[in-house]
Amino acid sequence: MQLKHLNQKELARRWNISHRTLERWRWAGEGPQFMKLGGRVVYRMEDITAFEQDQLRHSTGANAHVGAA
């Protein structure tokens, strides 16, 4: 069975960031999409990988997204 969701602490470990950063991102409307299931916050793997893909850059310039014109 393939894992389809990560909780906040699992995602924080995946990205080597604080779980509090994920809380702050949710509050600010940043970061990957998430779901609330019975009061629990979970992140779907497809949303995590889409967010990671969107973060790819060629350089540190303002319009340096991969695929940006």
pLDDT attached to residue 42? 97
CATH assignment of the domain containing 36: 1.10.10
Structural domain contains residue 46: yes
Structural domain contains residue 66: no
pLDDT attached to residue 62? 65
pLDDT attached to residue 41? 96
CB atoms within 10 A of CB 31: 20
pLDDT classification of 65: cutoffs 50, 70, 90: low
pLDDT attached to residue 63? 65
Read off the pLDDT of residues 6-56 as tens digits, 9 standing for 90 and up.
Answer: 999 999 999 999 999 999 999 999 999 999 989 999 999 999 999 999 999
Structural domain contains residue 30: yes
**How many domains in the chain?**
1
Instruction: Extract long-range pairs of 12-19: CB within 8 Å, 24+ residues apart.
Output: 14/48
**What are the percentages of helix, strand and coil residues in the chain, rounded to 5?**
40, 20, 40
